[in-house]
Amino acid sequence: MTLLAVVVLFPIVVLLIMKMAWKMTPDFSVNVAYVDKTDGSTERLAHNAFYWVLQNQQIKKTNGELYDKTTDYWGLFPNENEGYRFNDFDQLSPEELDGLSEEIDVLMFADTYGVYGSESENEGTGLIYGGLSANDISLFQKMKRAGKTVIAEFNVLQAPTSRVNRRKFQEEAGVHWTGWSGKYFESLSQDSELLPVWAINSYKQNYHEEWDFSGAGIILVHEDGRIVVLSEKDDLRRAKPQIKTFAYGINQLELPRQQEFPHWFDVIEYDDSINHAISAYQLDLTQQGKSKLNRLGIADRFPAVLMNQNQDFSFYYLCGDFSSEPVSMSTSRFKGVHHFGSVLKGRKGIFGENEFFYRFYLPLMRNILEEYHLSKP
């Protein structure tokens, strides 16, 4: 066999082996209720991360079928006439919620930002649908009493969730949103296509001066309209937030000790008699950057993943937009594909542009779901 033939055939053989290994992976069932009130597209790309994990790990519905990201969820569904329809917990009676809490194993609130009639330069206006509802919280409470697993991600506490429902959720979960959220931007230049116009306008209104930033940085915004800009030039030694994981997350959930995070996050406080931090964001600030945050009451380290310590039920709060990392569903049926992320995507980093997904999100979700499966009687 020539060297050329070996070079051509080797990756094909590897892929066939990975495909066969996936088919031979023992499957198990976990009844998941996934809630998304935002993605009304026909592609449901926002579902890819979670459903990739379900498919790759052979986690199936109770009828033995693989989960379908386009149908097996609660929330917002697209209509053929470009409108929307809703299939959510608000349509259920208290008795039906009781039955559902007994039936499902894992409840995940993935995205409740919702959909709007129009988008202004400041924020979404003309809310059509979104936010945590009273029935969402009621189901959460029933899941707790039934000893099940609940996962919530990032924006469930933000608008359009009402303050009443936010307070109820926070009391149940033992967490408190400070009102601050933030995101890393590769470029703070006003010409950057990725920089939101509302951030520039908000800065001008707050400080009565022109936007004059460049280079990488972090923008922090408060729900009351306040904004602070941390530039790599003046306020940050390293622009991207780092997630530092502690012993439990490293040893039990197989998370990396350190991981960059480039997406939206929220600044959360928590009751340490109820929850403990598996991981925390660390901002690498200059003295000027520390002074800026100190004036706002924001520390340079705050939770990234929280876990409930109660043995009767499991609760996880993901303090960031973890599910937004791009990943293709076409790779989910190959066992061990995460080892080849950098080859598949061809970008810098150990696992290319899907580094966060493969190194952090995948082991986190895999272990949460497997943990519930193994704990079932």
The whole-number average pLDDT for the span 206-225 is: 95
Alpha helices in 197-327 (DSSP H): 197-207, 247-252, 287-296
Q: What is the pLDDT of residue 40?
A: 86
User: What's the number of domains the chain is made of?
Assistant: 1
* SS3 (DSSP) at 140: helix
DSSP helix/strand/coil, 238: strand
Query: Do 154 and 320 meet the contact criterion of CB atoms below 8 Å apart?
Result: yes
Q: Which residues is 220 bridged to in the sheet?
A: 182, 228
Q: Which residues contact 8 (CB under 8 A, 6 or more apart)?
A: none
pLDDT band at 373; cut points 50, 70, 90: low
Burial of 74 (0-12, 13-18, 19+ CB in 10 A): buried
Whole-Å CA distances, 128 to 85, 162, 171, 232, 370: 11, 14, 27, 38, 36
Q: If you ran DSSP here, which 8-state letter would residue 65 be given?
A: P
Judge whether 67 and 32 are in contact, CB under 8 Å: yes
- Work out the percent of the chain whose per-residue pLDDT is above 90: 71
d(CA 322, CA 304): 10
Q: Is residue 247 part of a domain?
A: no
What percentage of the chain exceeds 70 in pLDDT?
89
Q: Is residue 361 part of a domain?
A: yes
Locate 12 and state its tokens: 């094909």
Tokens representing residue 246 in the block: 């502690």
HSE (CB half, 13 Å, CA atoms) of 257? Answer: 1
The per-residue pLDDT for 352 is: 45
Rounded average pLDDT over 42-48: 92
Write out the two tokens for 263: 């997406």
What is d(CA 230, CA 236) in angstroms, rounded to the nearest whole number? 7
Count Cβ atoms within 10 A of the Cβ of residue 314 and give its class: 0-12 exposed, 13-18 middle, 19 or more buried: buried
Q: Is residue 300 part of a domain?
A: no
Whether residue 117 is contained in a domain is answered as yes
Lowest mean pLDDT among 6-10, 105-109, 144-148: 6-10
Is the predicted pLDDT of residue 267 greater than 90, yes or no?
yes
Residue 69 lies in a domain: yes
The reply to whether 17 falls in a domain is no
Residues 203 and 206: their CA atoms lie apart, in Å, by 5
Query: Which residues form the domain of 157?
Result: 22-173+325-375
Helix or strand or coil: residue 12?
A: helix
Contact 51, 71 (CB under 8 A): no
Distance CA 122, CA 111 (A): 20
Band the pLDDT of 15: cuts 50, 70, 90. confident
In a domain, 166, yes or no: yes
Q: Which residues sit opposite 78 in a β-bridge?
A: 84
For residue 153, the cross-strand partners are 318
Distance between CA atoms of residues 12 and 24, nearest Å:
18
Choice among 6-10, 205-209, 274-278 with the minimum mean pLDDT: 6-10
Q: How do 32-36 and 106-111 pair as beta strands? A: parallel
Peptide bond into 160 cis (omega under 30): yes
For residue 326 the two structure tokens come to: 């791009």
Lowest average pLDDT, out of 188-197, 224-233, 250-259, 350-359, goes to: 350-359
Burial class (CB in 10 A: 0-12, 13-18, 19+), 218: buried
In a domain, 260, yes or no: no
